[in-house]
Amino acid sequence: MARIVQKYGGTSVGSVEKIENVADRVTRAAEAGSELIVVVSAMGKSTDQLVGLANDITEHPSKREMDMLLSTGEQVTISLLTMALLKRGVEAVSYTGGQAGILTEATHGNARIKEIDSERLTNQLEAGKVLVVAGFQGVTEDGSITTLGRGGSDTTAVALAAAVGADRCEIYTDVTGVFTTDPRYVKKARKLQAVSYDEMLEMANLGAGVLHPRAVEFAKNYEVPLMVASSMVEETGTMIEEEVTVEKNLIVRGIAFENDVTKVTVAGLPNRMDTLPKLFSILSSNGVNVDIIIQNQYDEDHVNISFSITQCSLKETVACLEQAKNELEFEHLYHEEDLAKVSIVGSGMISNPGVAATMFEALAKNEIFIKMVSTSEIKVSAVVSEDDMVMAVEVLHDAFKLDEVHEEQAAQLV
Ligand code: ASP
Ligand code: MG
């Protein structure tokens, strides 16, 4: 008997009708004989609304109370879905994260799962119950409710799948799978049959919103086969697994992009051993998250250091650097806003030289100026002007022929 964890996101349970639709789908899976855990998000935009309520009371809500508040969103969904299942004659029972045995660290608002005591869940599964579990939440050792960070219900689903040894984890959402790039921006975007954990992890971290990065990390570490599919249309989704056998010859599998990137340049820093550690410890102690870093020496005694941050941390960054101007001994501070990061991702890059060259040529041919570059084994990111972002993605989508299905060639290779 297959043991399956299904997860339905906020849009998929956004109204009573949609909850009834989910109940139909769960009923069918239960009738087909699977053991089922169903993880759900809060209905529609209700988490945002709860955040709004807190902000109406205070600008700085207590983190503990915030978790207490936000966790109620998912509780609404688990009880309603369970009622809908009971109405259909399915033996279902709902659990909060804590009741499901999800133990987390005490970091309110962004807690990591430490451990899952799955005994209750496995007993109930073996007794033939369908378990409906609230996503995005857990409890600390002393019983305080925590949440796992926005979008964290994916992580709950994958973590439970690992804990109960599920055969697979199915993430149902408002898109039909993982695409070569965001179909809302690029018409030619194509749904992929499969991607590897590492590729998905890069794409999720680079801003492809389909899956929470921590969920992918969990799936990779515990080798949980993941599937992403639509909760509305009956269509095969995308598999995320270790070995991707379909379209093996796709060197670049996807293009991720995000805007709101800002480039900061600290110019005229002393060319000394302690410059880099000083600069970046000031940034980190002020909570500034830095992405790409570039250093260049322009004369014997001086270097310029540029780095990228998200637009929202610009104020903080400028303030803390200006304050440390004497300590750091720099001459000027510049920044450039309204930039975007466009990244090509694919495990095939490791063994194929020339991928970056193709990328740069394609962008240059279309007069898209690259302001910063960073690479890893399986990705190349370029920072460009925000106005060029969508064009850059389209150009690269064409350059790497991502709209073509590479199945036949893949079949010939094996
Ligand atoms: N309801 C939470 C959020 O909106 C968690 C989730 O949906 O995954 O972020
Ligand atoms: Mg989500």
153 CB near ligand 1 (under 6 Å): yes
CATH 3.40.1160.10 domain range(s) in the chain? 3-174
- List per-residue pLDDT tens for the chain, 414 residues long: 899 999 999 999 999 999 999 999 999 999 999 999 999 999 999 999 999 999 999 999 999 999 999 999 999 999 999 999 999 999 999 999 999 999 999 999 999 999 999 999 999 999 999 999 999 999 999 999 999 999 999 999 999 999 999 999 999 998 999 999 999 899 999 999 999 999 999 999 887 788 999 999 999 999 999 999 999 998 999 999 887 776 777 789 999 999 999 999 999 999 999 999 999 999 999 999 999 999 999 999 999 999 999 999 999 999 999 999 999 999 999 999 999 999 999 988 888 889 999 999 999 999 999 999 999 999 999 999 999 999 999 999 999 999 987 654 444 443
pLDDT tens sequence across 37-71: 999 999 999 999 999 999 999 999 999 999 999 99
Output the CA–CA distances (angstroms, integers) from residue 162 to 50, 272, 335, in the order listed: 30, 48, 44
Å from CA of 371 to ligand 1 middle: 34
Name 252's bridge partners: none
Of the CA atoms within 13 Å of residue 342, those in its CB half-sphere come to: 29
Torsion sign across C-alpha atoms 344, 346, 349, 350 = positive
42 CB near ligand 1 (under 6 Å): yes
Ligand index nearest the alpha carbon of residue 151: 1
41 CB near ligand 1 (under 6 Å): yes
For residue 136, which atom of ligand 1 is closest to its CA?
5
Q: Choose among 309, 312, 304, 311: nearest CA to 283.
A: 309
What is the distance between the alpha carbons of residues 153 and 145, in angstroms, rounded to a whole number?
15
Atom 8 of ligand 1, nearest CA residue: 151
What is the distance between the alpha carbons of residues 84 and 27, in angstroms, rounded to a whole number?
10
CATH 3.30.2130.10 domain range(s) in the chain? 255-399
The residues, any chain, with a CB within 8 Å of residue 14's CB and separated by 6 or more, are: 43, 44, 45
What is the distance between the alpha carbons of residues 130 and 82, in angstroms, rounded to a whole number?
9
152 CB near ligand 1 (under 6 Å): yes
Torsion sign across C-alpha atoms 319, 323, 325, 328 = negative
What is the distance between the alpha carbons of residues 182 and 208, in angstroms, rounded to a whole number?
8
14 CB near ligand 1 (under 6 Å): no
Ligand index nearest the alpha carbon of residue 171: 2
What is the distance between the alpha carbons of residues 67 and 159, in angstroms, rounded to a whole number?
20
Of the CA atoms within 13 Å of residue 293, those in its CB half-sphere come to: 10
Binding residues: 7-10, 47, 74, 173-174, 184
Binding residues for ATP: 7-10, 173-174, 184
For residue 151, which atom of ligand 1 is closest to its CA?
8
Of the CA atoms within 13 Å of residue 7, those in its CB half-sphere come to: 31
Ligand index nearest the alpha carbon of residue 71: 1
307 CB near ligand 1 (under 6 Å): no
Report the 10 Å Cβ neighbour count for 301: 11
Q: Quote the pLDDT of residue 413.
A: 40
Å from CA of 247 to ligand 1 middle: 32
Atom 9 of ligand 1, nearest CA residue: 150
Question: What is the rounded end-to-end Cα distance, in angstroms, of the chain?
Answer: 32
CATH number of 3-174: 3.40.1160.10
Determine the topology of domain 255-399 in CATH.
VC0802-like (3.30.2130)
Atom 5 of ligand 1, nearest CA residue: 151
Instruction: Report residue 277 as tokens.
Output: 């550690």
pLDDT tens sequence across 146-158: 999 999 999 999 9
pLDDT tens sequence across 183-235: 989 999 999 999 999 999 999 988 778 899 999 999 999 999 999 999 999 89
Q: Quote the pLDDT of residue 210.
A: 87
